[in-house]
Amino acid sequence: MGLLSTALLLEVYSQLFTRPPFPTNDFTGKTILVTGANVGLGKEATAHFVRLGAAKVIIAVRSIEKGEAAKREIETALGRPNIIEILELDLSKYSSVKNFAASLAQRYDRIDHAVMNASIATEDYETFEDNESTITVNVVSTTYLILLLLPILRTSATKYQTTPVISVVSSGVHAYTTFPERKTPSPFATLNDPKLAVMTDRYQVSKLLQVYAVREIAEKTAGDSPLVVLNCLNPGLAHTALTRNARGSTKVIMAVMRACLAWTSEEGSRTLVHAVSQGPESHGVYISGCLVENNNLDSAVTNEDGQKTQKKVWSELSDKLEKIHPGVTKVLSN
């Protein structure tokens, strides 16, 4: 049986016969940031953080109106008013990422954890900034935000003697692509060529690139003091609005898979709460099934070719980030 077949069987077994543990962590006094928090996993994770005693939950959303609606619903249901605060963040625009981070630094002297949940999935080729839209949102802007958050969280860690955690919501589908673009001299340039783009594979590729970026940043910051823990996670298949724009065979396949296998949004959100609750042992780890010690990372990432690809991807990605914001990668030489 091939590695992909084994991975698929493990995913199916997990979806059918297991559920992530219901969160009981204590977040009393903590400030938590959640991106993509007005719907789906992000919204349900926000509700858990509010329920578990967080002093503040900052939700980063494209639509303030939708953020306000989510805030009202969660705070009313849980009887904890004035806990959720809303900031605008549009990952399709680098200026929005930069302004968002500046607002955080200005308004909050304490941020304990950050959940990077916002992503898109589309089969339509469209350009956001200097890349195909999925690459801009899921990879470049997400990584850019992580780098901007690092000094903010380091300052918070020093002041409050805490160990902040950033968790990136990746996916088990990172194992379902061979990422053929890696064989070209410039993977990002190839991904951004509309004539070569295989959009049915694009979301999977973006999630693999997230794993590479997390692993690379974690390697470069492993000796930091204070340490900002960075991990990524597989939230499993859950009922969300992520594939609302799917069409054709993809729409049919996703509908069938959801009907047969999907967890509820609340069940899936438990994986987000779990990942951001972990300590230094999770630095650079891909967490699947809420297990840090058995992370089920695809061997194509960890083998020799995968490690070379990671370095190649990071070299091109860091060049992109430096063009967007000169000096931004210097935070990795703290």
The domain that contains 212 carries what CATH number?
Answer: 3.40.50.720
Residue 261 lies in a domain: no
Q: Is the dihedral of CA 93, 221, 169, 2 positive or negative?
A: positive
Active site includes 133? no
Active site includes 63? no
Q: How many domains does the chain have?
A: 1
Q: Among residues 12, 7, 21, 67, which one has the least CA distance to residue 43?
A: 67
Catalytic residue among 94, 203, 212, 286: 203
What are the 10-residue block averages of pLDDT along the chain, 334 residues in total? 51 68 95 96 98 98 97 98 98 98 97 97 95 98 98 98 97 91 97 96 96 97 96 82 58 55 84 97 92 72 93 98 98 81
The pLDDT score that the predictor gives to residue 103 is 97
Domain span at residue 35 reads 3-236+269-326
Cβ partners under 8 Å of residue 256, min gap 6: none
- Reading the block at residue 257, the tokens are 């898979």
Q: Among residues 116, 123, 141, 120, which one has the least CA distance to residue 45?
A: 116
Residue with tokens 């296998």: 261
CA distance 144 to 91: 10
Residue 260 lies in a domain: no
Length of the chain: 334
Specify the pTM: 0.91
Q: Say how many Å lie between the first and final Cα of the chain, rounded.
A: 45
Active site includes 170? yes
Strands 84-88 and 56-61: parallel
Cβ partners under 8 Å of residue 212, min gap 6: 301, 309, 310, 313, 314
Q: Among residues 206, 200, 196, 193, which one has the least CA distance to residue 247?
A: 200
Catalytic residue among 170, 171, 265, 277: 170
Residue 257 lies in a domain: no
The pLDDT score that the predictor gives to residue 17 is 61
Residue 250 lies in a domain: no
The pLDDT score that the predictor gives to residue 223 is 94
The pLDDT score that the predictor gives to residue 20 is 87
The pLDDT score that the predictor gives to residue 313 is 98
Residue 242 lies in a domain: no
In one-letter notation, the amino acid at residue 127 is T
DSSP string, 312-327: HHHHHHHHHHHHHSTT
Cβ partners under 8 Å of residue 112, min gap 6: 27, 30, 31, 32, 156, 160, 162, 164, 165
Residue 331 lies in a domain: no
Residue 93 lies in a domain: yes
Angle at 97 between CA 40 and CA 198, to 5 degrees: 65
Catalytic residue among 30, 207, 220, 320: 207
Residue 333 lies in a domain: no
